[in-house]
Structure 1
Amino acid sequence: MSIDACYEGVIAKLTDEGKILEISKKLISLQTNSARVLFVYELIESLKAFPKVLEVKKDDNVSTYYRNQGNLFFKATQNYEALQFYNLSLIHAPLGTESYSLALANRSAVLFSMKQYDECIHDIDTVFAMEYPRDLEKKLSKRKSMCENFILKNKEVKEDSTKANFQVGEILKFDHERDKTYICASSKLQVVFNDEMGRHVVAKEDIQVGEILAHENPYLAVVLKSQMLVCCNYCLSRDLNLLPCKSCCFALYCSKECSEKAWKEYHRVECGLLATLVHMEFTKLELLALRIVIRARTDHKNWPELLEKLVEIEKNLNTPLRGCENLGDNWVYDSKYYASIHTLESNVEKRSVSDIFQKSITAAVFLKFLIENTDFMNADDAKHHNRIKNWVAGTLLLHGMTSPTNMHGIITNTANKNGDYVDELNIGSAPYPFCSLINHSCAPNVVRYSKLGFAEQILVALRPIKKGMQIFDNYGPVFRRRSHLKRSFIANIRPIFSKLFLFINQVLFALTHCSKNVNQSLYYLDYSGQQTRVDTS
Structure 2
Amino acid sequence: MCDQYISQKTVRDIYVALCSALAAGSGNVRAISEKFSELETNSSRVDFVYELLEKYGAFPKLNVINKNAKVATDLREKGNDFFKMTKDGFAIMKYTESLANAPLDSQEYALAFANRSAALFRLKLYKQCLKDIEKALSGDYPKHLHDKLTTRREKAVQMQTQQVKMMYHEDAPVLGSTNEFIECAANCVEIRSADDHGRHIVARRDIKIGDVIAVEEPFTTVLLKDKYLSHCYNCLRPCFNLIPCDNCVLIMFCKEGCKRLAWDTYHKYECSILPTLLDLDLNKLTLAALKISILVDLTQGNDKGSTYKSRNYSEIHDLITNTRLRSTSDLFERAVTAAIIFELVRKHTKLFVDGAKKQETFKELLLLHLQTGPSNFHEISEMAKNGSFYELDEIGVGAYSFLSLLNHSCCPNVVRHCYDRTIVLRALRPIVKGEQLFDNYGYHHAVMKKEQRREHLHKQYFFECRCEACVENWPLYIELPKRHFDIKVSEEEIESLRNGSTRLAKDIAMNLQNLAEGLEKLRPCKELADVQEILKQCYALCGNKRITF
Shift of 1:393: 1.3
Give the 3 Å change call, closer, same or farther, for CA 148–513 of structure 1 in structure 2: farther
Counterpart Cα distance in 2 of 1:242 and 1:130 = 16
Q: Which residue identity is paired with 2:394?
A: N
Shift of 1:170: 4.5
Secondary structure at the counterpart of residue 332 of structure 1: coil
Structure scoring higher RCO (CA < 8 A, sep ≥ 6) equals: 1
Shift of 1:184: 1.0
Shift of 1:367: 1.1
Give the 3 Å change call, closer, same or farther, for CA 291–170 of structure 1 in structure 2: closer
- The alignment's C-alpha RMSD in Å is 2.2
Residue equivalent to 1:530: none
Confirm or deny that 1:88 pairs with 2:97: yes
Q: For residues 141-172 of structure 1, what are the alpha-carbon distances to aligned partners after superposition, in whole Å with 9 as ceiling and x for unaligned?
A: 121222223224x38xx7xx79xx69x84462
Q: Residues 73-472 of structure 1: matches in 2 within 5 Å?
A: 73-152=82-161, 154=162, 169-170=170-171, 172-174=173-175, 176-300=176-300, 325-326=302-303, 330-379=305-354, 385-415=355-385, 419=389, 421=390, 423-451=391-419, 454-472=420-438
Conservation of the 8 A alpha-carbon contact between 1:264 and 1:298: no
Question: How many residues get paired?
Answer: 475
Counterpart Cα distance in 2 of 1:188 and 1:259 = 39
Conservation of the 8 A alpha-carbon contact between 1:183 and 1:333: yes
Counterpart Cα distance in 2 of 1:443 and 1:71 = 50
Conservation of the 8 A alpha-carbon contact between 1:222 and 1:429: yes
Range with bigger deviation, 225-234 or 69-78? 69-78
Confirm or deny that 1:10 pairs with 2:18: yes
Give the 3 Å change call, closer, same or farther, for CA 326–267 of structure 1 in structure 2: same
Conservation of the 8 A alpha-carbon contact between 2:65 and 2:275: yes
**Percent identity (aligned):** 34
Q: For residues 271-294 of structure 1, what are the alpha-carbon distances to aligned partners after superposition, in whole Å with 9 as ceiling and x for unaligned?
A: 111111111111111111111100
Conservation of the 8 A alpha-carbon contact between 1:63 and 1:90: yes
Structure 2 unaligned blocks of 5 or more: 1-8, 455-464, 481-523
Shift of 1:113: 1.9
Structure 1 unaligned blocks of 5 or more: 301-308, 310-324, 380-384, 519-537
Shift of 1:138: 1.2
Shift of 1:66: 0.8
Q: For residues 97-116 of structure 1, what are the alpha-carbon distances to aligned partners after superposition, in whole Å with 9 as ceiling and x for unaligned?
A: 11111000111111112221
Range with bigger deviation, 471-480 or 138-147? 471-480
Q: What is the TM-score with the length of structure 1 in the denominator?
A: 0.84
Conservation of the 8 A alpha-carbon contact between 2:96 and 2:241: no
Secondary structure at the counterpart of residue 118 of structure 1: helix
Secondary structure at the counterpart of residue 272 of structure 1: coil
Counterpart Cα distance in 2 of 1:342 and 1:80 = 41
Shift of 1:486: 3.2
Secondary structure at the counterpart of residue 104 of structure 1: helix
Q: Which residue identity is paired with 1:348?
A: T
Give the 3 Å change call, closer, same or farther, for CA 348–92 of structure 1 in structure 2: same
Conservation of the 8 A alpha-carbon contact between 1:121 and 1:147: yes
Conservation of the 8 A alpha-carbon contact between 1:265 and 1:299: no
Shift of 1:450: 1.2
Q: What is the TM-score with the length of structure 2 in the denominator?
A: 0.82
Residue equivalent to 1:476: 442
Residue from 36, 49, 54 that aligns with 1:45 = 54
Conservation of the 8 A alpha-carbon contact between 2:238 and 2:546: no
Range with bigger deviation, 180-189 or 408-417? 408-417
Residue equivalent to 2:39: 30
Conservation of the 8 A alpha-carbon contact between 2:49 and 2:336: yes
